[in-house]
Structure 1
Amino acid sequence: METTTTMDDGAARPGALRKSGWLGYALATTLLWGVWGAFAGLPAQYGFPETLIYVVWALTMVPPALFVLARAGWRVRRDARAVAYGLAIGLLGAGGQMILFYAVKAGPTYLIFPLISLSPVITIALSFAFLRERTGALGTAGIVLAVCALPLFDYAPGQAAQSYGLWFVLALGVLAAWGLQAYFIKLANASMDAESIFFYMTASALLFIPVALAMTDFSQPINYGPSGPWLAAATQVLNAIGALTLVHAFRHGKAMVVSPLVNAGAPLLTTVIAVALAGTLPGGAKLAGIALSLAAALLLALQPDDGAAAPSTDSRS
């Protein structure tokens, strides 16, 4: 039995990773999700329903899952705790996406997406309270700026006032689901390997395929050409690989730092790419979001690393 333990006291120890470990994975996720975000909406614009895009995304999770499992010797944790954590992570992520489908049908996207973008607040609060995660002055300032920047990327001023109805409750459900998912990814990393976590994420995504198919209106014209499912696959594989690197980022870094960094950095890159392709400057809200995200990313990256975020134990026989 080999056991590797990482403590949160900041002292040098065997197996402790430097900042470059979590930061590299977090930046990889930011890059993958930023590029994905810039092109993810194209298949829907070309007539391929978002529910079927979900099906394609779930299927694109399979190749990276098989890759990491093969490298790990096809070992998957099957004890009760691992199954519970794995399914909680997967079901919260996929379930949140299902709820989002209903939310955008019931309410305005210009209010829904800024609201659910605040999911890192849930992750930060839970990590602070239950994982005893802490950061320094630079990290705290970076977290605050990142959280302030998140809603600005999707904020659309000047829209008509909306009453708070079912869409608001559904949006809060998505916010809670994705905030909890990030927390559970960090929590699960303390007792199971990243490969097993991603396996359960993939399995849960696949379980929701029948739900997505049932929600699809097949009576409407559907684009099954290259600009439909194939373009969706090309973009969604970036999403899938980004989910894998995110698991590793949470494994080696603090959830209260990784979550706002990724969730602010990815929309920042998406906006930059969209602006470059459109050749026009974004509005004031997006410019403010860009400025705050850049400042947040710099502060979070400069915050001295005081060791691993939380106790982490990985035992394999």
Structure 2
Amino acid sequence: MKSKLWLIYALITTISWGIWGAFTGFPAENGFPDTLIYCVWAITMVPPALIVLKLNNWKLEYDKKAIMYGSIIGLLGAGGQMILFHAVTVGPTYLIFPIISLSPMVTIILSYTFLKERTGILGTIGIILAIVALPLFEYSNGESDTDYGYLWFIYAIFILLAWGLQAYFMKLANATMNGESIFFYMMLTGLLLIPVAWFMTDFNKPINYGADGPWLAAGIQILNSIGALCLVFAFRYGKAMVVSPLTNAGAPLITAIISMIILGFVPNGYKIAGIILAVIAAVLLAIDPEEN
């Protein structure tokens, strides 16, 4: 049974993140600001962070290097989340999440440049497919299947860059830090940015404090936190080259499918091609043996 634990944890992460991605924009549509959704998300990170730390006998690393790496990783992750919550209010989740899934491309390029790591043929093909896929998300050839504009695409690229950078610094930190400490600092920096999100909120506008506002946000965002917690254990019990493609490509694919079902339409051929190429690229980037 223990040999299958990685698969159980990885599947929980994939399913919970896939569902989370599809529904994360709903509270904002119901009148609960995306800035306050960020605050709710940061709070839902607390339980899994404490659980992981407790399982590690409360061994938190707090030397200067650990604090520096933990802060950088946490700020990039939390900053990406803050942008994401606004992105899903102005753009289609079925396109945003496949784009974000290409963040390993940034990690590989940075590792190649600064850490002198070398990617294999699969990673190279993945990067090429990612480069081809990105323009397809916005290319319509005069056709239009949405009225979202282009701002969501810019936000998605920023998130891709932020989370790609985050993973790069995780690579650096893992040489001297344990995963529990990294996750704790991710939670802590998320909490520290709550005042920023709070002051960015326009309280002059009506805010929905009902069940389909903050409470719905909490129910959706806890899926994100549970997925992150299970991912830690999936990597602990399983191989990265197996866990990564399952979560990195599987979750965005679930998000895209659920979102299109909810919206009740199929995007044009260029965007479908972009989604397919993005998923394939994400798998290749994740399973490249030279990178893992």
Which whole-Å CA distance do the structure 1 matches of 2:285 and 2:9 have between them? 14
Contact 2:25 2:88 in 1 (8 A): no
Letter in 2 for 1:155: E
The alignment partner of 1:196 has SS state of: helix
Gaps of 5+ in 1: 1-17, 310-317
Aligned pairs, how many?
A: 278
Structure number with greater Rg is: 1
The answer as to 2:16 corresponding to 1:32 is yes
Q: Matched residues in 1 for 2:276 and 2:150: separation? A: 31
Aligned equivalents of 1:133, 1:279: Cα separation in 2 = 44
Kept in 1: contact 2:104–2:285 (CA 8 A)? no
Shift of 1:88: 0.8
In structure 2, distance between residues paired with 1:249 and 1:181: 19
Shift of 1:65: 0.6
For residues 247-297 of structure 1, the C-alpha deviation after alignment (integer angstroms, 9 at most, x for no partner) is 56778637xx94x87554433221111233344333213321343245446
Match in the other structure for 1:76: 60
User: 2:47, 2:106 → 1: CA distance?
Assistant: 30
Could you say which structure has the higher helix fraction? 2
**More moved, 260-269 vs 84-93:** 260-269
- Of residues 181, 189, 197, the one that matches 1:212 is 197
Pair 1:266-2:251 in alignment: yes
Contact 2:24/2:85 (<8 A) preserved: no
1:9 equivalent in structure 2: none
Q: Is 1:141 paired with 2:125?
A: yes
1:127 to partner: Cα distance: 1.9
Q: So what's the TM-score if we normalise by structure 1?
A: 0.70
Deviation at 1:221, TM superposition (A): 1.2
State the shift of 1:114 in Å: 9.1
Show CA shifts across 1:195-240 (max 9, x none).
Answer: 1000000000000111111011112111111111111111111222
Question: CA distance change for structure 1 residues 25 and 144 in 2, over 3 Å: closer, same or farther?
Answer: farther
Amino acid at match of 2:44: T
Any idea what SS the aligned residue of 1:48 has?
coil
8 Å contact kept, 2:24–2:88:
no
Equivalent residue for 2:240, pick from 240, 253, 273: 253
CA distance in 1: counterparts of 2:88 and 2:258, whole angstroms: 24
Partner residue of 1:240?
225
Task: Specify which of 204, 208, 216 is matched with residue 231 of structure 1.
Answer: 216
Contact 2:98–2:253 (CA under 8 A) maintained in structure 1? no
CA contact (8 A) 2:179 2:232 kept: yes
Give yes or no for the alignment of 1:55 onto 2:34.
Answer: no
Output aligned runs, 1:173-212, within 5 Å: 174-212=159-197
Distance 1:189 1:241, change over 3 A: farther
Q: 1:271 is matched by which residue type in structure 2?
A: A
SS of the counterpart of 2:138?
A: coil
RMSD of aligned Cα (Å): 4.0
**Deviation of 1:23 (Å):** 8.2
2: CA distance between counterparts of 1:65 and 1:32?
17
Task: Please give the secondary structure, in 1, of the residue aligned with 2:198.
Answer: helix
Question: Percent sequence identity over matched residues?
Answer: 58
Q: 1:97-116 maps to which residues of 2 (within 5 A)?
A: 97-98=81-82
